[in-house]
Amino acid sequence: MNRLLLGTPVLLALVSCASAPSQAPEDIPFAMHTRAPVVVERVRSMPAPVAQPTRKAMVRRILPLNVRLITTENGKVRRSASGVVIGTETGESGPVSYVLTNAHAVEQGDLEDPVLKVVVDRRAESHEFTAEVVATGAVPELDLALLRVSGVTWPVADLAEDDELEPGEDVVVAASPYGRALSISGGMVSQVEWDKETKHPRMLKTDAPIGYGASGGGIFSLETGKLLAIVEGYRTAKVDFEVAAQNFSFDVPMPGETFAAPSAKVRGFLQTKGFGRLLERESDGAGPQKTASR
């Protein structure tokens, strides 16, 4: 409105100086009487961003899905390893939980009277449960084993899909190196090796630090909390040095050279060994069970 009121007299004045005949208001071009269109923009309400869980919150969700394994003989610990709870079910004999680990971690051929136990750590408390091996793969092609623990119901890990395995994915590894309580190390997926025939991942590598006893430990996505892979082993470099005329050597894990069996291999192992029913919980969209024993 102000623009038209200020502009019209100027235009009329210029026309008058040119000695042109004056125009009646009705003869003034239509554009001079028309207001400029007013554009009204609608403000769209943006959805509130979904808050992502913190690292601490995600670790709290992941830790209860993991256990440690010990093999004893005559009351002494002979071997230690790690494992991930992969399924639960309830039958006529009661509840049962299944733990996934490495096949090489449960080999007991050199022991006379071995006892395999699963240890559950809950803050200042630890509880031991006798376990039995119900399925094993062939090492090194399929270094996986499944254990059954009767009378308990533990939270279960969710397996990641194939397309969730990407280099650069932030991960945490839950394991019990050197047989001690569960611990967490962080890193990322450093490599995913794909099978050209099946089009599924066949091997995963991470740069997260691990140590002896981490075999069977879970590699989890820090974003989703899903199980990406099961630790199988790691490549080391031998370091030699001399002190006081004595030679010493030890193996150092190489960064980015921790090998793991990806979730696709875990699914294939369970289906091949007759435990595909443990995967039905995922197809139904059910989340991890929250009931824990003791």
168: domain CATH number is 2.40.10.120
Is 107 within the bounds of a domain?
yes
Q: How far apart are the C-alpha atoms of 206 and 213, rounded to whole Å?
A: 17
How many structural domains comprise the chain?
1
Q: pTM here?
A: 0.75
Per the CB < 8 A criterion, the answer to whether 180 and 70 are in contact is no
Asked whether residue 45 is assigned to any structural domain, the reply reads no
The verdict on residue 174 lying in a domain is yes
Query: Is 104 inside any structural domain?
Result: yes
Where are the alpha helices (H) located in the chain, listed in sequence order? 2-17, 30-33, 55-62, 263-272, 280-283
Condensed to tens digits (0 to 9), the pLDDT of residues 162-221 reads: 999 999 999 999 999 888 889 999 999 999 999 999 999 999 999 998 888 899 999 999
What is residue 29's predicted lDDT score, i.e. its pLDDT? 52
Distance of alpha carbon 42 from its chain centroid, rounded?
A: 41
Burial annotation 138-159 (CB, 10 A radius, 16+ → b, else e):
eeeebbbbbbbbeebbbbbbbb
Tell whether the model's pLDDT for residue 76 goes beyond 50: yes
In a domain, 28, yes or no: no
In a domain, 80, yes or no: yes
Question: 102-114 pLDDT, tens per residue?
Answer: 999 999 888 999 9
Its domain, for residue 146, covers 55-283
Q: Is residue 120 part of a domain?
A: yes
Please indicate, yes or no, if residue 44 is contained in any of the structural domains.
no
